[in-house]
Amino acid sequence: MALTYQTVDVFTDTAFGGNPLAVVFGAEGLSKAAMQAIATEFNYSETTFVLPPQNPAHTAQVRIFTPRMEVPFAGHPNVGTATVLAWRGSAFGAPVGDRVMFEEAAGLVPSRIMREKGRAVGATLTAPQPFQRLNEADVTEVAACLGLRPSQIREDRHVPVVGTVGLPFLLVELVDRAALEAARPVTGAIETSPSVSPVKDIHCYVRAGGAEGFDLRTRMFAPLDGVPEDPATGSANGALAGLLAELDGPADGTLALRIAQGVEMGRPSVLLAETDRAGGVTTAIRIGGRCVGIRRGELVASRKPGV
């Protein structure tokens, strides 16, 4: 079987915006090391490998790799992979309709295909795990990791805190847009910070208040994963949506957020987050967006099963 791929820009409707993703097919029999080597070759923030599902009722098993490691779940890989499968029309002999179900290390990830005039234009995933608020981080250490002053980190609503819906991120609110633009990852500080190094990945944000049509503007830094900055991070924004729903959301109903990311990188992205609440409890978190196909191809390097 040929090892083929399609690349797609995720969380955008414009080519060469959003977050690039490589979706690889035909990787049955490849070892984890071989998948990692291919992901490192693409050098995108993530590459997915679409494999036969263990349960035939599901669409596919999906494995996700950064340039340095495999991760149990991530947002833009699910949105992009679901959209690519919708374009292909079938997966492992079964038709792909308006809903897909992926088997991933973090759990089952359902996604709904977004269509316009019958054509898939994107997807919306539901996070595989409920939002969890975990450890807090020291403000002084976090500021050093972002190249900022402690006074540029906002603490009145929440201190820097780890949140997850399947993949953990340190969630940090900054005081204003200038602080967001000035932020940069300081790898040495991240490696040595007792409160930051265990989670590594920092997702910082400011409240946009509807400016330019957005509720939030965000940036995500993961240099220890080989991703100095990510143009669009569905899993991090899903965790952020869960946190904000606990802080500001309705007791019953849905908190909807329109999020801008990647602007400072020249790859503007638009993420649509929804958090369902019932009786003061979050019942579901969804992240969606549009996708643009970029290229298709075949990996021609010699490949041996299991290598």
Do 134 and 239 form a contact (C-beta atoms < 8 A)?
no
Q: Determine how many CB atoms are found less than 10 A away from the CB of residue 81.
A: 32
Q: Please name the residue ranges forming H helices in 22-134.
A: 32-42, 75-88
Beta strands in the chain (DSSP E): 4-10, 19-25, 46-51, 60-65, 70-71, 90-91, 94-95, 99-104, 107-116, 119-126, 132-136, 161-164, 168-173, 202-207, 216-222, 227-230, 253-261, 269-278, 281-298
Closest CA to 198 of 243, 136, 123, 275: 136
Is-catalytic flag, 274?
Answer: no
Do 21 and 47 form a contact (C-beta atoms < 8 A)?
yes
Q: Give buried/exposed letters for 98-121 (b at 16+ CB in 10 A, else e).
A: eebebbbebeebbbbbbeeeeebb
Cα angle at 89 between 24 and 298, to 5 degrees?
30
Residue tagged active-site, from 41, 46, 70, 229: 46
What residues are annotated to the active site? 46
